[in-house]
Amino acid sequence: MSEQNRGKAKKRGVVMQVEDIQICVVMVGLPARGKSLIAQKAQRYLRWLSVDANVFNVGNYRRDANPQPTADFFDTSNAEGERMRRAAAEAAVTDMLKWFKGGGTVGILDATNSTKERRRWIKERCDAEGIETLYVESKCDDEDLIMSNILEVKTTSPDYVGQDPETAAQDFRKRIRNYEKVYQTIDEDENDLTYVKIMNVGKQVIINRIQDYLQSRVVYYLMNLHIKPRSIWLSRHGESQYNETGQIGGDAELSANGEMYSRKLPKMVRDSVGDDRPLTVWTSTLKRTISTAKHLPKEYNQLQWKALDELDAGVCDGLTYAEIEEQYPEDFKARDDDKYNYRYRGGESYRDVVIRLEPIIMELERSEDILIITHQAVLRCIYAYFMKKSQEDSPWMAVPLHTLIKLTPRAYGTEEQRYKANIPAVSTWRSKGSVAKHEDAPPDDAQSI
């Protein structure tokens, strides 16, 4: 921890908190090594855990002056290209340091940062402001993975919008060769740096000089990442008998409509996957999710997670919202005022659910081909993680019954597709202040699960 931050803590006379530490995470690596995807994932993970994090992508600053350069722009013999790229890096670092002064906690500098000179310059700038630096180098010599990144990721980069994919891929290969001429991996000359080196998508991880809790949390998360293209499928359980009566919580059986959804789900999954590869299915331990999964093919391995159980409503379990408003009017209002942090008497808050879901997120990040069948509040938290939804908005998002959601993480965001079963179900969404199960139902095209 920097002397500046130690001073802040001593003046307050309190035990050190995560927010007292500020870290610049410096991405390092050749193009097509998954740096931007890692940066975006780290940002959304930290924000999901209530840590203020922001990505500063040097490429975005460079695009202000040169939006679609050819590979020759990145040749070190191109003096004008070198000047413009240096200016972009300086602008990004300057903006990041201003953001830190405004109270930011983790700034992620997304660039190749190819040379020891550039990395040392960043450290000196951060040291002068009392900001810790953590270098994250993504290295890969797996040609299949590199080509996959070139074709799957970089041909959708803003640098190649509207261009022929094969032409773009050829230009990007040339860009990589230009970077290879000057690239210097982190080695023993930089042993004073705090760094983590991720080799071939996590097959080997090297860690050096990790200093505090927040750095450890970031590194632990990075150790569980893979950057191979994949999708995750999400679904609520089929409509339950409690859904029909407007009661919350419980361990009810499926309704007749819910049973219809469980029978239709296997075809919906196969159609969305696009082939016959089996998925691993995660459900909660409650009957309505297990029953929803029961007609999926036998080759689908099914696992039950207690962590995926619905938000615990405590003394309100089994009540309708109208009954909660009548019996606990102060609690009903308090939950509407701050739904993310409100904790049911004897139960949980959305913040509590996020904490218990962290191991699920870790396992999800290192897994492939997962279908999760769970509950409304839990799905809201998982969806918020992938789609970078705010804590204020996530508890109010509409998560319709009888809908399969396919999420595909990309370097520049997460793609979403929805598949509706067209099987009737009640709306369990409510707006602030409402009590009836059908009241204020959102439109079908609401982008708010």
Q: What are the residue numbers of the active site?
A: 237, 310
Q: Is 304 exposed, middle or buried (0-12, 13-18, 19+ CB in 10 A)?
A: middle
Q: Is 164 exposed, middle or buried (0-12, 13-18, 19+ CB in 10 A)?
A: exposed
Q: Are 225 and 38 in contact (CB under 8 A)?
A: yes
Separation between Cα atoms, residue 364 and residue 370, nearest integer Å: 8
Q: Which residues pair with 139 in a beta bridge?
A: 199
Which residue is listed with tokens 């040291």?
127
Residues comprising the binding site for substrate?
A: 236-243, 288
Separation between Cα atoms, residue 106 and residue 108, nearest integer Å: 6
Separation between Cα atoms, residue 436 and residue 438, nearest integer Å: 6
Going through 204-320 in order, the beta strands assigned E by DSSP cover: 204-208, 232-236, 280-283, 301-304
Residues comprising the binding site?
A: 236-243, 288
Q: Is 207 exposed, middle or buried (0-12, 13-18, 19+ CB in 10 A)?
A: middle
